[in-house]
Amino acid sequence: MDTTSNLSRCAERRHALQSRMGKGIAIIPTAPERVRNRDSDYLYRFDSYFYYLSAFPEPEAVLVLLAGEE
Protein backbone atom coordinates (compact mmCIF):
# COMPACT_ATOMS: atom_id res chain seq x y z
CA MET A 1 0.00 0.00 0.00
CA ASP A 2 1.43 3.39 -0.90
CA THR A 3 1.83 6.20 1.59
CA THR A 4 -0.74 8.51 0.02
CA SER A 5 -3.57 5.99 0.14
CA ASN A 6 -2.59 4.97 3.69
CA LEU A 7 -2.69 8.60 4.86
CA SER A 8 -6.03 9.23 3.17
CA ARG A 9 -7.49 6.12 4.84
CA CYS A 10 -6.25 7.40 8.21
CA ALA A 11 -7.85 10.78 7.51
CA GLU A 12 -11.15 9.02 6.77
CA ARG A 13 -10.87 7.07 10.04
CA ARG A 14 -10.20 10.25 12.02
CA HIS A 15 -13.16 11.96 10.38
CA ALA A 16 -15.42 8.99 11.19
CA LEU A 17 -14.33 9.09 14.83
CA GLN A 18 -14.90 12.84 15.04
CA SER A 19 -18.40 12.52 13.58
CA ARG A 20 -19.28 9.90 16.22
CA MET A 21 -17.88 12.01 19.06
CA GLY A 22 -20.40 14.83 18.74
CA LYS A 23 -18.62 17.65 20.55
CA GLY A 24 -15.41 17.27 22.49
CA ILE A 25 -11.74 16.47 22.36
CA ALA A 26 -10.01 13.10 21.96
CA ILE A 27 -6.41 12.92 23.16
CA ILE A 28 -4.74 9.72 21.97
CA PRO A 29 -1.10 9.11 22.95
CA THR A 30 1.15 6.56 21.35
CA ALA A 31 2.90 3.89 23.41
CA PRO A 32 5.90 5.04 25.47
CA GLU A 33 9.39 3.72 25.00
CA ARG A 34 10.27 1.05 27.57
CA VAL A 35 13.63 0.65 29.29
CA ARG A 36 14.91 -2.90 29.35
CA ASN A 37 17.72 -2.25 31.77
CA ARG A 38 20.05 0.64 32.59
CA ASP A 39 21.70 0.89 29.18
CA SER A 40 19.24 -0.55 26.66
CA ASP A 41 15.62 -0.18 25.64
CA TYR A 42 13.13 -2.66 24.31
CA LEU A 43 12.52 -2.39 20.57
CA TYR A 44 9.85 0.28 20.17
CA ARG A 45 6.35 -0.85 19.20
CA PHE A 46 3.80 1.88 18.50
CA ASP A 47 0.26 1.69 19.86
CA SER A 48 -2.03 0.01 17.32
CA TYR A 49 -4.99 2.35 17.91
CA PHE A 50 -2.77 5.41 17.50
CA TYR A 51 -1.23 4.04 14.31
CA TYR A 52 -4.66 3.11 12.92
CA LEU A 53 -5.69 6.76 13.14
CA SER A 54 -2.40 8.45 12.26
CA ALA A 55 0.03 6.08 10.46
CA PHE A 56 2.76 7.73 12.55
CA PRO A 57 5.16 5.10 13.98
CA GLU A 58 7.38 7.32 16.16
CA PRO A 59 7.44 7.46 19.98
CA GLU A 60 6.51 10.45 22.15
CA ALA A 61 3.57 11.52 19.97
CA VAL A 62 0.00 12.54 20.74
CA LEU A 63 -2.98 12.76 18.39
CA VAL A 64 -5.53 15.42 19.34
CA LEU A 65 -8.92 15.40 17.62
CA LEU A 66 -11.44 18.21 18.04
CA ALA A 67 -15.05 17.36 17.29
CA GLY A 68 -18.08 19.54 17.05
CA GLU A 69 -18.59 22.89 15.42
CA GLU A 70 -16.36 23.65 12.44
- Domain ranges, residue 47: 3-67
**H helices, E strands: number in the chain:** 2, 4
Q: How many domains, in total, are found in the chain?
A: 1
- Cα–Cα distance, 11 to 7 (Å, whole number): 6
pTM of the predicted model, to two decimals? 0.79
pLDDT digits (tens, 9 = 90+) for 9-59: 999 999 999 999 989 999 999 999 998 998 898 999 999 999 999 999 999
Nearest to 50, CA basis, from 41, 59, 42: 59
CATH number of the domain to which 48 belongs: 3.40.350.10
